[in-house]
Amino acid sequence: MPTDTVDRWSPSSWRERPVRQQPTYPDPDALQATLSQIDHLPPLVTSWEIDNLKEDLAQAEAGNRFLLQGGDCAESFEDCTADVVTSRLKILLQMSLVLTYGLNTKIVRVGRFAGQYAKPRSSDTETQGDTTLPSYRGEIINSPEFTEAARTPDPDRLLKAYTHSGLTLNLVRALSEGGFADLRHPEYWNVDFMAHSPLANEYQRLVDDIGTAMQFIDTVAEHALNAMERVTFYTSHEALLLPYEEALTRSVPHKEGIYNLGTHLPWIGKRTNAPDEAHMEYMRGIANPVGLKVGPDMTPSKLRTLINHLDPDDEPGRLTLITRFGANKIADRLPPLINMVQSMGHSVLWCCDPMHGNTERTNGGIKTRRFKNILGELEQAFEIHAAEGSRLGGVHFELTGENVTECIGGARGLKANDLERAYKSLVDPRLNYEQSLEIAFSIVRKYRALHK
């Protein structure tokens, strides 16, 4: 990119580039009025939290931490409730304890929450019968019902997304201050499903070991244990709706850099990664750590361009590559990309998203994912990085703490005809509580097999 353009970055310089995946608002003045309102509202997160996350991710790059990123595909306003938020934190915390113990490393916890409200779509419109309406693009834009009123992009939703993000964060922060004390004890976990797994004995041993370790800490640490009751959750979402991201992108006193203060870790999705377009322009200038989704169509030379664009100084913790190929493609696609990064001498954090390359439809047309493919991609990611002299430093899941039936398989053996029983996701299918915990056990199993 010519230097004159590099110098001209600002939170709004993306507006001079072609932009994808944006809604068309019928009343641009109303949109502008809402954006001006958000401009004046307090930030959702702080620059020092963002800097701490970058430091944690730098540690993960160096092999001293492991990233666990997870949450809904798409948050909904309706699910901004005590139960849903709490159970999502619980499962993430339980998974992170399993991983801390099993991988013998600290875990960086990042939620897909408090702002994961905008979704990329393959088509701008959806047709049912004779009617064509704008596609559903997430709660920050429109509503899923197939009516003209529901599907018309509504600027008030930006404000609603901002307030619901704030409400979610408020509960996350309060619970993180000590509301999870019990969860350190696996005797409070719901692990009945393990009995249905052929690996039941092995998993039970892991749970018992974690319980023993926690009891030991309780015994020796006495008061110091209070420190352990506090846990840190960072937030992340796809930085898709650029006017909203821009309204929360600000400089802070006594610090260099301009931060996106709407989330700690914004990421760029697979459909908006053209180097000379708006999303890349926006992301290159912010001071946050950033994620980049990497799909099966990514070539080594495009990846090199994007890395140079997003992280020209090879700053520790700046760039997380979230790969999402599919269980049947990762073996072919990942090694050349690892080799490219190695040949650049660049340090990035490699994270595996085993969800988005493994989406399929049942014969009945329901969107689902198979547990065995999710696990298959994950296990291959560990193996391939190890074989290439690289390191898998994190995992990324779409999950919920609720007992939904959206993904097929797992110890309970959910089948295609179980899916309708409790299918709630508005967009992509998520792992439920049991499937998520089982995945954490399986990661430990794979990791130990590779590192024995």
- Nearer residue to Co ion within complex by CB, 186 or 354: 354
Instruction: Determine which residue in the list 184, 293, 333, 412 makes contact with ligand PEP, applying CB under 6 A.
Output: 293
Contact by Cβ (8 Å): 194, 200: yes
Q: Binding of ligand PEP at residue 109 (CB under 6 A)?
A: no
Among 10, 13, 120, 328, binds ligand PEP (CB under 6 A): 120
Collapse the DSSP code of 71 into the 3-class scheme (helix H, G, I; strand E, B; otherwise coil) and give the result: strand
Judged by CB under 5 A, which stretch of 128-136, 175-183, 272-280, 421-429 contacts Co ion?
Answer: 421-429
Rounded distance between C-alpha atoms, residue 262 and residue 54, angstroms: 16
Residue 428 engages Co ion in binding (rule: CB under 5 A): yes
| CB of residue 293 to ligand PEP, shortest distance in Å | 4
The answer to the question of residue 73 lying near Co ion (CB under 5 A) is yes
- Minimal CA–CA distance to 124: which of 142, 111, 107, 104? 142
Cα dihedral sign, 444-216-234-108 = negative
270 binds ligand PEP, rule: CB under 6 A:
yes
When the beta carbons of 137 and 157 are compared against ligand PEP, the nearer one is: 137
Q: Which is nearer to Co ion, 56 or 406 (CB)?
A: 406
Distance of alpha carbon 109 from its chain centroid, rounded? 10
Q: How far apart are CA 184 and CA 186, in angstroms?
A: 6
Site string for ligand PEP, 217-256 (x = CB under 6 A): ----------------------------------------
Question: Does the footprint of Co ion cover residue 374 (CB under 5 A)?
Answer: no
Radius of gyration of the CA atoms of the chain, in A: 21
* Interaction between residue 324 and ligand PEP (CB under 6 A): yes
CB of 120 to ligand PEP, least distance (A): 5
CB-CB contact of 38 with 247 (8 Å): yes
Q: CB of 407 within 8 A of CB of 369?
A: yes
Asked whether position 399 contacts ligand PEP by CB under 6 A, the answer is no
* Stretch 332-361: interaction string toward ligand PEP, x if CB under 6 A: ------------------------x-----
324 binds, among ligand PEP, Co ion, none (CB under 5 to 8 A by kind): ligand PEP
Q: Select the residue interacting with ligand PEP from 111, 243, 269, 317 (CB under 6 A).
A: 269
CB of 368 to Co ion, least distance (A): 13
Helices (H) and strands (E) in the chain, counts: 14, 14
- Give the count of alpha carbons within 13 A of 105, CB side only: 20
The answer to whether residue 73 forms part of the interface with ligand PEP (CB under 6 A) is yes
* Closest alpha carbon to 444 in 399, 384, 382: 382
How many residues bind to Co ion according to rule CB under 5 A?
Answer: 2
Q: Which does 237 bind (CB under 5 to 8 A by kind): ligand PEP, Co ion, none?
A: none
The minimum distance between CB 117 and ligand PEP, in angstroms, equals: 11
Query: Which residues does 249 contact at the CB level (< 8 Å), separation at least 6?
Result: 11, 258, 259, 260, 261, 262, 282, 286
* DSSP calls for 184-225: GSGGGS--GGGGGSTTHHHHHHHHHHHHHHHHHHHHHHGGGG
Query: What whole-number distance in Å separates Cα of residue 436 and Cα of residue 422?
Result: 16
Site for ligand PEP in 419-438 (CB under 6 A): 428
Closest by Cα among 11, 23, 14 to 275 = 14
Select from Co ion, ligand PEP, none the partner in contact with residue 430, using the beta carbon and a kind-dependent cut-off of 5 to 8 Å: none
The listed partner (ligand PEP, Co ion, none) that binds 157, CB under 5 to 8 Å by sort, is none
- To the nearest whole angstrom, how small is the minimum distance from the Cβ of residue 241 to Co ion? 16
Q: What angle do CA 361, 365, 366 make, to 5 degrees?
A: 65
Chain positions contacting ligand PEP, by CB under 6 A? 73, 120, 269-270, 293, 324, 356, 428
Chain positions contacting Co ion, by CB under 5 A? 73, 428
